[in-house]
Chains A and B, each alone.
Chain A
Amino acid sequence: MSERPPILLDGVEGETIPLPPPGRRVLGGDPFAEPAGPDPFLARLPEPTPQPAREAPPRRPAPAPPRPGRRGAPPLADLEPPEPRGWLERLVDEDALRRVSALAGLAETGSDYDRFGMSPRALRNSLPFFLALYRGWFRVQAQGHEHLPRRGGAVVAGNHAGLLPFDGAMAVLDVLLHSDPPRLLRTVVDRWGGSLPWVNVFLARVGQVVGTRRNLIDLLQDDQLVLVFPEGMEGARKPVTQRYRLQHFRKGFVEEALRARVPIVPMAIAGSDDQTPILYDVRPLARLLRLPAAPLTPTFPWLGPLGLLPYPVRYRIAYGEPLEFHTRFGPEDAEDPRLVRYLANQVRRAVQQLLDRTR
């Protein structure tokens, strides 16, 4: 195994992410088996803001009245297996069908939609297709589900790659299939996706939410599991030479996690970097066409739109231990840009380590 070059963290000049020793098996290993080494950043961690003696702070700044759609799905054991509708659903196993039908209660009372446009019916209709991708095309293997909170809000921060967001879709399905009570991971998607015809409607109906700050706050206040890709489009369009290297992490998700007092669960998706190897991104052309990327891949544009189909690579998803910054820092610390940047780098480091161990 050839030694990989160290990876520099943003804004932390001269410090590197420790990589696994040469020769150590990284594929299929348990990322949580060995204890984490001494944290090189711990010494630099600023002292938390001194808190005046007071009673336990409220979970949210302003207690919002309970909303109709706020209740979660019931535990799996309490659910009757639903009757399959149509021949497509007969191909779906009973457990998956039971899990997705458990999400029916997430819609607003008196409506078939929740306030972000999610429709349990659309979710159920799309299940056979995504299950086929999950089991047949990407053959997803996942570990570390015990780190996902069973209830309450959390931010799941993952790496993003592969041009089209199949990584997000697979993560959503993975969480749905491995959580009890079943939980729907709400992905915060790029704004550009929200402006596209059909894509806009589809994303909303299957529970994905356009990435505005307001939506993120709202989801966290609703005790939802929120998936963010802090690299943004930079991760999705990175060239093949940058594969498995995290790009710059944005920091808004850390601010909101601190304000909402929820943990951040690092997540690594290995495989998405190989699904569409981008040889070159023609940025001027992308700007001209108002697209986020104009990629050249071994198959695109030579095979037309078919060239954008992902290769049938195996996905490996790993969830890391939750980073509970909110236990050490208060909501007011979200106003400190240096601290927030530092914490965002901590998340980036955790995701990169997880990714290095998982791939």
Chain B
Amino acid sequence: MTGVLITHADEPLGRRLVKSLYHDPGVASLLAVGDGPAPRAFDRFLSETPPRLAYACVDLARHRSVADLFHARRVRDLGIDTVVHVPRHGATPGAALAAGVAERTAEARLVLQHSLEVASIRHLVALGSAFVYRLEPGNANRLDESCALDLDPDVPAEIRAWIDCDMLFHAEIGSERLHTALLRVPTVVASGGAIYLNPALEGPPRPQLRPLGFDPLCALISDKDVAKGIQAAIERRARGVFNLAGHELVPLSQLERWTRRPRLPLPGSALRWAARGAALLGAGSATLDGPHLRFGFSLDTTRAQRELGFRPGYRIGMARSGDGRSRLETSAL
């Protein structure tokens, strides 16, 4: 039996994970940590007696509050021995891009540092993005865990933040003290059509640009499969880097249609100038230009299949809802 601390549990991916782990017989207690008040979805879990779930509102980007959290008596009482770091999905709404990006890295650093400090914590599972890999020209990048990360200085800031977080956790993979597993996932799709961890499709719908003549292939995974992968990593005390992905591979244009986020195609040179101009004005964004808008990839999940027993159990596609409108849904295979 294990006790699990989940960061950003108030965001959709974190909520999904809390629900999955709550019903996991191998998990004795859960400590959900979020930025704001407890989500209403947790009400029925929090009202149970004796409570197996506790919720804490903590600013994970501040050293003091994270230190207070990790050294709190509640953490010891709940028998927390595993930390699942679900990173912030995008920049904080309303905050400047640079601040949001810096926050993501700061949070990862603090969570890792305190997980190493607290003796009772023996296992850390971090969720990372597969957009950290370097993409070769062409649509056929098949990426396994040993592929190089994109350390090009021109990489958009959002992706750079993912790479920074990835490298922080990667540095602890060999640690004997803390078993660290890093799960890299591609575009995550939740029922209802929400898209996470894709730098081109995050945030509220707004007019966007894309390079003309390119239509990268996007690997997809359902949020339920992400939760399943994390659950398997906790259960098996996994160490190392694992790629997780579902069956579906969809061109970005189709994903844009599915999520109703049409983008205006612009010739590559014009787009580069637009991206540079935006960067000079301090509004540089991965949604403007970058290799992920030109070249696609699929993930080799052999290692996760072998060591975690991970098999995607959900498929993703358009479905017609009760009101007659079609929307992106996930369904069990």
Contact = CB atoms under 8 A, between A and B. Distances in A.
B277 interface: no
A64 B139 contact: no
Given A113-B249, A113-B250, A194-B137, A215 B142 contact: yes
A228 to B, nearest CB: 15
Interface stretch (B119-127, B164-172, B298-306): B298-306
Contact of B302 (A64, A108, A113): A64
Contact of A191 (B136, B142, B212, B296): B136
A115 B136 contact: no
Given A197-B211, A197-B268, A111 B140 contact: no
B217 A194 contact: no
Given A197-B268, A201-B139, A108 B249 contact: yes
A15 interface: no
A115 B251 CA distance: 11
Contacts of A94: none
Contacts of A195: 137-138, 294
Interface string A63-81: 0110010000000000000
Contacts of A111: 247-250
B140 A209 contact: yes
A204 B247 contact: no
Size range of the chain A interface in the assembly: 20 to 34
Contacts of A117: 139-140, 217, 249, 251, 296
A114 B217 CA distance: 10
Most buried by B among A68, A113, A114, A115: A115
Nearest to B215: A201
B290 to A, nearest CB: 14
B109 interface: no
Given A110-B315, A197-B211, A198-B213, A214 B142 contact: yes
A204 B217 contact: yes
A201 B250 contact: no
Given A191-B136, A214-B142, A115 B298 contact: yes
Interface in A216-262: 218
B247 A200 contact: no
Interface in A176-202: 189, 191-198, 200-201
B213 A201 contact: yes
Contact of B249 (A115, A191, A193, A209): A115
A294 interface: no
Nearest to A64: B302
B45 interface: no
A116 interface: yes
Interface in B82-138: 136-138
A338 B77 CA distance: 66
B184 to A, nearest CB: 16
A193 B138 CA distance: 8
B22 interface: no
B258 interface: no
Q: Which of B141, B217, B306 has the most CB of A within 10 A?
A: B217
Top 5 nearest A-B pairs (CB, nearest first) are A197-B213, A210-B138, A194-B138, A204-B139, A195-B137
Interface of B: 136-142, 147, 211-215, 217, 247-251, 268, 294-296, 298, 302, 305-306, 315-317, 333
14 contacts: A65-B305, A108-B247, A108-B248, A116-B139, A116-B140, A117-B249, A191-B137, A192-B137, A195-B137, A196-B213, A197-B214, A200-B138, A200-B294, A212-B141
Given A65-B302, A200-B294, A210-B137, 15 more contacts: A62-B302, A111-B247, A113-B249, A115-B249, A117-B140, A191-B137, A194-B138, A194-B139, A197-B212, A197-B213, A200-B138, A201-B213, A204-B140, A204-B296, A212-B141
